[in-house]
A and B are shown apart, each in its own frame.
Chain A
Amino acid sequence: MTAAANTLPARTIRIPAPTVLAAVVVVLFVIAAIFPSLLAPYDAFHVDLGETLRPPSFAHPFGTDQSGRDVLSRVVSGAGASLLIGLGATAVAAALAVVLGVAAGLGGRLLGGGVNRLIETLFAFPVLVLALLLITVFGPGVSTLVIAVGVANAPGYARIVRGQVLSVRRSEYVEAAHATGHSPARVLLRHILPNALRPLVVAGSLGIGQAIVWASGLAFLGLGVAPPSAEWGALLNDGRTYVTVAWWVEVLPGAVIVLVALALTALGRAMQRRFGKESG
């Protein structure tokens, strides 16, 4: 009884409340990253030695740090670096994944098989170990951090791309395109790639939050952005010494990282559900 399925009434899109909440957090995060002055109550680098390590209050919602700087302002000013690192790392990962995944999926037994072995081998390493290895080789720094997190995440995405390429290339519409007489390059660009990369868009949006957490973790270990920059991992590293006397310098920025990562993941999942519906 599917006769009525064709006559869809005007759709009223209902978005569940948690997704709305996640979207609000992400919007605030992006605003903080681009226009920190809109959200930061003080100058993030203004040192006031009379106001050191104050607990959260109305004047300083997140308290102040050991130099009397406003912690909330520092968190806001660090958002830009975190967003850039998250986006950059995910972009590096996705770009590498497309190259590796397509080569593994379309290459013959020799090339495809070889690339696939490489992906499987890299996938066997934990992300953090792989990233640490790369940073050790190339030395710490922002660009190394971005590349390291990106490369470390690439194998997971590459596996998704390879699987998609394998299923799309055997699909009837690709065969139909070959039967029409289109060149292999055209079939690859117009049919195989766009269809195979759809799930990567969703996986990537899920991965941005994850990449921010990895990057913060590495920065916390002193392998990324160096203080006095307010990048979130560096911020945590900075406050580490005072955590026993002033919990807020550590816990509140940490909570923000968790919140942003959660919100990005929740939003990615919501996208995944919508995409899943439409392609199914």
Chain B
Amino acid sequence: MSTSTEAETERPAHDGQSAVLRVEDLCVGFDLPREGHREVVHGASFSLERGRCLAIVGESGSGKSVLARTLVGLTGAHATVAARRFELLGKDLRGLDEAEWRRIRGEEVGFVLQDALVSLDPLRTAGREIDEVLRTHRYGRGPVRRARALDVLARVGVPDPELLVRQLPHQLSGGLRQRALIASAIALDPALIIADEPTTALDVTVQATILDLLGELQSAGSSVLLVSHDLAVVDRIADEVAVVKGGHIVEFGATEKILRAPEHDYTRRLLDAIPSANSRGRRLSPGAASVAVRTPSATETVPLLEARDLVKSFHDPEVGRRTVVRDVSFTIARGETLGLVGESGSGKTTSARIALALERPDSGEVLLEGEPWSAATARERRARRSAISVVYQDPLSSFDPRWDGLRIVADAVPMRVFRTRAGRRRRASELLDRVGLPADTHTNPPLRLSGGQRQRIAIARALASDPKTIVLDEPVSALDVSIQAQVLDLLADLQQDFGVSYLFISHDLGVVHHVSDRVAVMQGGHIVEQGEADEIFLRPEHPYTRQLIGALPRLEQEVLR
């Protein structure tokens, strides 16, 4: 690591003694074997005061995670870090060696990562995980450390710390895992907690409790540096926001100001891209005019897809039979979007798989265009498969790894429509053009395309058989907000052009509200509430729906609008 030796300039008075972290003109670059030196953070400046929360916001590839890792000295051997000022609690961090960084991590800075399942050792109990932090920093003897571990677990709101210290990561729920991870980060009372997307992998109700916990830690005197792509989460707990784009901090200031009166164009675009109640019928990405409000034809008597009292259970070695779908009924009319929301494990995906006839219900049935679908024979179903298609959350795993985009789509073009291979390829090419995949990337292997481009291929494939219904299983959950906005706009355009119906599955209430005409809320395998989207979101009746909507972090401006 090299450091600049420029004379320190005097800071403005307002962050005098209380600043926990002060960074001025921080540049981080990497020496890459083939490309030479590449700078990814360009002159970032910010400060964080005691008991405050600073959020670093940006999309993937913006440099926000590199920035967060630089603050704990985890940039790796190939990185060059330079700064005019880089201080933690008044101590200069420039040019520290690895041993000094190790002391700072844990004692002065606690680091919480995104997915606790990946960042916890699968073979180590939560108790040992916390104990290791304490032992590394020589925090007393065994019994003292044990008492401390139980103490911090209680502080992060674990209901039964005595039990949790003996459990392995896979035995814990997502929320408890994240709490255990936070507990190990705060075990030594660090002045600063850095949380890199701490709630991204969590369900909305769990996310709410974790955000509350971070808020409590903050009011107890810790400073929190939150890295996130989710502006609604940021709005909920951050005092200040730094918006990062391409390694530059394009806007930095009080949360109130940044989110209500953004000055930078990019910040405004990010805010516009968030799907929500207010964005219905509006385009999310910059460009063309508004989307025409659709009027699904409710006049037809026979719905395109109808599920009647579906029940499905699976064998579970631990509890015997586990029923994941109970008495699920819904209908989808031509050109309509039905949103299916619920938390993980609520039975959304299983219901969708039954609708696609990839899974047989134990009882109940699915009708496709008024005719038996789930009860039909495999041969009959195959003949009618072109009427319904699917888009998955992770497009890459739904593509044959040997094939390029063009071949993937051509394979789904029915042979009765285009008899020749050349004809199917031409049709595939048209579809790829239609979904906005640049022509020169049609034959690239999907591995080399971006997440948004991959999802466009998946959508083109779903359209290839000219279906009347498309099942979209979390189609935008893995995408950045601006890419998500483009894909949602594309789906709206396609619905208009082709008159297809969507069964749209998502855990993201904002997205569901944006796209859906009607919404069904699932919990524990049941549909607890079903109705017009606005009705459900603005006047929820079922307590669970209310809980979900209450837990949803949202930008206040939406409520005010």
Considering only residues 194-247 of chain A, those with a C-beta below 8 Å from chain B are 194-195
Whether A179 touches B356, Cβ cut-off 8 Å, given contacts A1-B40, A4-B35, A195-B402, is: yes
Chain B residue contacts of A9, Cβ below 8 A: 34-35
Tell whether, in the assembled complex, residue B35 and residue A180 are in contact, meaning their CB atoms are under 8 Å apart.
Answer: no
The CA-CA distance from A175 to B382 in the complex, in Å, is: 13
Tell whether, in the assembled complex, residue B35 and residue A191 are in contact, meaning their CB atoms are under 8 Å apart.
Answer: no
Whether A183 touches B356, Cβ cut-off 8 Å, given contacts A3-B61, A9-B35, A173-B398, is: no
Q: Within 8 Å of chain B (Cβ to Cβ): is A28?
A: no
Q: Which of B38, B385, B461 interacts with A181 by CB under 8 Å?
A: B385
The minimal Cβ–Cβ distance linking A221 to chain B, given in whole angstroms, is 43
A21-51 vs B: 1/0 string, CB under 8 Å?
Answer: 0000000000000000000000000000000
Q: Within 8 Å of chain A (Cβ to Cβ): is B490?
A: no
Considering only residues 32-74 of chain B, those with a C-beta below 8 Å from chain A are 32, 34-35, 38, 40, 60-61, 63, 65-66
Considering only residues 169-200 of chain A, those with a C-beta below 8 Å from chain B are 171-173, 175-183, 190-191, 194-195
Give the tally of cross-chain contacts (CB within 8 A). Answer: 68
Q: Within 8 Å of chain A (Cβ to Cβ): is B465?
A: yes
Tell whether, in the assembled complex, residue B358 and residue A178 are in contact, meaning their CB atoms are under 8 Å apart.
Answer: yes
Whether A172 touches B61, Cβ cut-off 8 Å, given contacts A180-B412, A180-B465, A195-B402, is: no
> Interface of B with A (CB < 8 Å)?
30, 32, 34-35, 38, 40, 60-61, 63, 65-66, 356, 358, 382-386, 389-390, 392, 394, 397-402, 411-412, 414, 448-450, 461, 464-465
> Interface of A with B (CB < 8 Å)?
1-4, 6, 8-9, 171-173, 175-183, 190-191, 194-195, 279
Tell whether, in the assembled complex, residue A176 and residue B382 are in contact, meaning their CB atoms are under 8 Å apart.
Answer: no
List the B residue with the shortest CB-CB distance to A191: B400
Tell whether, in the assembled complex, residue A172 and residue B394 are in contact, meaning their CB atoms are under 8 Å apart.
Answer: yes
The minimal Cβ–Cβ distance linking B403 to chain A, given in whole angstroms, is 9
Tell whether, in the assembled complex, residue B61 and residue A181 are in contact, meaning their CB atoms are under 8 Å apart.
Answer: no
List the A residue with the shortest CB-CB distance to B387: A181
Tell whether, in the assembled complex, residue A173 and residue B400 are in contact, meaning their CB atoms are under 8 Å apart.
Answer: yes
Tell whether, in the assembled complex, residue A176 and residue B390 are in contact, meaning their CB atoms are under 8 Å apart.
Answer: yes
The CA-CA distance from A103 to B358 in the complex, in Å, is: 22
Tell whether, in the assembled complex, residue B465 and residue A176 are in contact, meaning their CB atoms are under 8 Å apart.
Answer: no
Tell whether, in the assembled complex, residue A179 and residue B400 are in contact, meaning their CB atoms are under 8 Å apart.
Answer: no
Whether A179 touches B389, Cβ cut-off 8 Å, given contacts A6-B448, A173-B397, is: yes
The CA-CA distance from A194 to B401 in the complex, in Å, is: 10
The CA-CA distance from A194 to B358 in the complex, in Å, is: 23
The CA-CA distance from A23 to B412 in the complex, in Å, is: 42
Q: Which of A6, A8, A172, A190 interacts with B398 by CB under 8 Å?
A: A172
Tell whether, in the assembled complex, residue B400 and residue A1 are in contact, meaning their CB atoms are under 8 Å apart.
Answer: no
The CA-CA distance from A191 to B30 in the complex, in Å, is: 40
Q: Which of B61, B356, B461 interacts with A1 by CB under 8 Å?
A: B61
The CA-CA distance from A4 to B32 in the complex, in Å, is: 11
The CA-CA distance from A190 to B401 in the complex, in Å, is: 12
Tell whether, in the assembled complex, residue B63 and residue A171 are in contact, meaning their CB atoms are under 8 Å apart.
Answer: no
Q: Which of A2, A181, A191, A195 interacts with B386 by CB under 8 Å?
A: A181
Chain A residue contacts of B401, Cβ below 8 A: 173, 195, 279
The CA-CA distance from A170 to B419 in the complex, in Å, is: 29
The minimal Cβ–Cβ distance linking B464 to chain A, given in whole angstroms, is 8
Chain B residue contacts of A178, Cβ below 8 A: 358
The CA-CA distance from A176 to B465 in the complex, in Å, is: 13
Chain A residue contacts of B390, Cβ below 8 A: 176, 179
